Amino acid sequence: MNATTYQHWQLEIDAEGIAWASFDKAGESTNSLSSAVMNELGQMLDRLDANPPRGLVFRSGKAAGFIAGADIQEFTRLDTPEKALELVTRGWNLFNRLAAVRYPTLALVRGHCLGGGLELALACRYLLAVDEPGTKMGLPEVMLGIFPGWGGMLRLPQRVGPQAALDMMLTGKSIDAQRAKRMGLADECVPPRVMESAAKILLLSNKPRRPLPFLQRLLNGPFKALVASAARKQVAKRARPEHYPAPYAIIDIWARHQGNALAAPALIDGIVRSSTARNLVRVFFMQERLKGFGKETSFQARRVHVVGAGVMGGDIAAWCALRGLTVTLQDQGMERIAPALERAYAAWGKRIRNKLQLRDVMDRLIPDPEGQGAAQADVVIEAIYENLEAKHTLLSKLEAVMKPDAVLATNTSSLKLEDLRTVLAKPARLVGIHFFNPVAKMPLVEVVSAAGGDPEMARRAAAFVKQIDRLPLPVRSAPGFLVNAVLGPYMLAAMRAVDEGIAPETVDEAMLAFGMPMGPIELVDMVGLDVAMAAGKELAGADVEPPRCLLERFNAGHLGKKTGRGFYDHASGSGGKGGGKGAGRARPGLRPEPFRPVWPSVCSSPCSNVYSNSSMRVLLRMPIWPTPG
C-alpha cells in the first residue's frame, strides 16, 4: 500500500485504488474531532482531490470505537461569539466538502459513532455498520445543551425521515447496528469478520441509497411545518425553553433553515455559550470523572444475590440481569418475588424486541425464596426496609454463608454503615451500594465507605457499579451520604412551605419554573412518605419535628405513589396531581401563587449551594426529552 501518515490519521491507497483513512487520535484512548484532527482531514481531502481514488473508506484505528464526537474540551474555550461561529463553520464546511467529492465514500462504523462522528459518517455516501454490541450511533449533543451543527440536522432527516431523526436528536439516544440498518441509517449491517471486504464491495457497487418512503418525503418537505409544530408541543410538555433551549433550536434550524445553523448565527451564540450548555458540559466532565472509579481493580462479578424484592431490590436485580449477570432474588416467599419479575418482564419487554433475547434476560433473573444464591454470589446486596434490627439479623445470616472474598453491600439510604456492621465478624467488609429510584433511569450510584472499612471492598463495589453501566460515586458514611444530604433540605423546605398554607401544586410549579425536572412535593410522593420520614430523622435528628403535612399523611397511611395517595391522588388516573381531600388541589384557571421559600437552618450546609440546576438534574436524572410526533 501507498501510505501517508499524519499525526492523527493514516491514509493508505491499496492495490485496487481504494483509499483507507484510519483515524487514531494521538495520545487519547478514544477518537474525538478536535480542530487539529479536522485540519488534517482537510489536508487529506486536498491530496485526494489532486489524485482521486476509486473510493474512500473511513475507519477507526482504535479498538475503543469509531468516533466519540467532537472534542468537548474545545467547548470550554468558546468565550466569544466569533469562536462559537468558527467552530460550527469549520465542521459544516468540511463535511459539506466531503459530501461533494467526486468519488464514493464510506464510513465503516465499529463501536461508538456519536455526535460529530455520526455527522462525518452521514456526509459519506455509504454507512456500513458492524454488528456487535459496542456499535452505537447517535447525536447526543442535546444532552450537552447544544445541537448537531456539522450537518446532522440536514442529513439525518434526509436519510431516516424527520420523525425518527427528531427522535434521535431531541432525546440524544443511540441505536445499535441492526436498528440502524432497519431504519435506513446504515446501508448494510455485517459481522466483524467480513467488515473490510463488505466495505470494499459496497463502496465499489455504485448502489443507490434506499429512498425515503413517499410519506416521509412529504413530512421532510411540504409538511415540515406540521412536524415541527407537533415536535415543539411535545418538547414543551417536559422542557421549558428558558432552561433547555437546545431542543427548540434543533427543531427551528431543521424546519426553517434546512438544518444549516449558519443561517441563524444568533442561535449559535445563544445556544453554544448559554449557561445551560456550560453547566451540562461541566456535568459531562463530572460524569467522565465518575467513570474512572472502579478501574483500580480487576474484579468482575458474574453472580449477584439481592435480598428484598420490593421496588428497589427488585429493580436492582432486574437491572443486573439486563446487564448480563446471573441474579438470584430473595424474599420471604414467591408471592413477594412475583411482582418484581412481572415488573422486569414488562419493562424489558418494551426495550427488547427480540423474544429470545428477552427470554435470556429473564432466565438470568432467578427467584430464590430460600436464599441459596448467596453462597455462590460475587456481590450480595441487602435491600430490605430501613430497620436497623431487621438489617442486623439479615447481614449476620448472609455473612455466615457468603464467599470470603464476595462483596457484602447494603442499599440503605439513611442508616450509617458503622451502626449496621456491628453484628459482623468482619465488619470492615460491609460497603454501601446505594441506588436511586427508578434504577433503570438513574445512572448515579453512591458507593459508601465507613471509617476503617476495607478499601479493596470499596474498589470492588465501584468496579461492580461500573460493570453494570452505572456511575459510581465514592462517598463517606454520613447522614444522607451526598445526594440525600443535598435533597433533604430542599424537600424539607418545600414541605415547610406547604405547612404555611401554600398549595403543593404551587410549590412544585415554582421549582419547575426554576428548572427542576420534577417538583419537590411530587418527588416526595415518588420516593415514599415513609422513606422521607426515616431519612428526615436520620438527617435532621430525632429531636426535630417533621413537617405537619408529612406527619399527617404518614399517620393516615398515605405514603405516596406506592399506596395510591400521598400529597397527590395517584389512584384517580389524573397523573397524580389535584385529587382527593387534602391533596392541595389548585383551582382551575388560576395561576399558582408566588412561591415564598422557607429555608430551614439545615440549608446552611455547604452542600446546599454547590450544584447548579443542570447539575441537580443529573443527580435526580429524570428523563425530560419526549419522543416527537
In total, how many domains does the chain have?
A: 3
Domain match, 490 and 407 both: no
Contact 477, 449 (CB under 8 A): yes
Sequence-distant contacts of 316-321: CB under 8 A, at least 24 apart? 316/381, 316/383, 316/411, 316/435, 316/439, 317/344, 317/365, 318/343, 318/344, 318/347, 318/348, 318/365, 318/439, 318/440, 319/439, 319/440, 319/468, 320/468, 321/361, 321/362, 321/364, 321/365
Contact 542, 550 (CB under 8 A): no
The three cell numbers of residue 581 are 381531600
**Does residue 24 register a pLDDT over 70?**
yes
At 11, give phi and psi (nearest 5°): -110, 120
Domain match, 46 and 75 both: yes
Express each pLDDT in 171-223 by its tens digit.
Answer: 999 999 999 999 999 999 999 999 999 999 999 998 998 899 999 999 999 99
Domain match, 472 and 487 both: no
The verdict on residue 626 lying in a domain is no
Contact 248, 241 (CB under 8 A): yes
The verdict on residue 379 lying in a domain is yes
For position 2, what pLDDT does the model report?
80
For residue 320, count CB atoms less than 10 angstroms from its CB and return exposed for 0-12, middle for 13-18, buried for 19 or more: buried
Domain match, 397 and 457 both: yes
Enumerate the β-bridge partners of residue 193.
Answer: none
pTM for the complete prediction?
0.81
Express each pLDDT in 575-590 by its tens digit.
Answer: 556 543 333 333 323 2
Query: Which of 85-99, 329-343, 600-614 is least confident?
Result: 600-614
CATH of the domain at 545: 1.10.1040.50
Express each pLDDT in 546-568 by its tens digit.
Answer: 999 999 999 999 999 889 999 99
**Position 1 confidence tier, pLDDT thresholds 50, 70, 90:** low
For position 608, what pLDDT does the model report?
28
Question: Reduced to 3 DSSP states, what percent helix, strand and coil does the chain have, rounded to the nearest 5?
Answer: 50, 15, 35
Express each pLDDT in 136-176 by its tens digit.
Answer: 999 999 999 999 999 999 999 999 999 999 999 999 999 99
The verdict on residue 297 lying in a domain is no
User: What residues make up the domain containing 202?
Assistant: 2-287
The verdict on residue 628 lying in a domain is no
**Position 574 confidence tier, pLDDT thresholds 50, 70, 90:** low
CATH of the domain at 405: 3.40.50.720
Active site residues: 70, 116, 119, 141
Domain limit, last residue, from 476, 496, 525:
476
The verdict on residue 210 lying in a domain is yes
Domain match, 388 and 429 both: yes
Domain match, 515 and 469 both: no
Mean pLDDT, the chain, rounded, equals 89
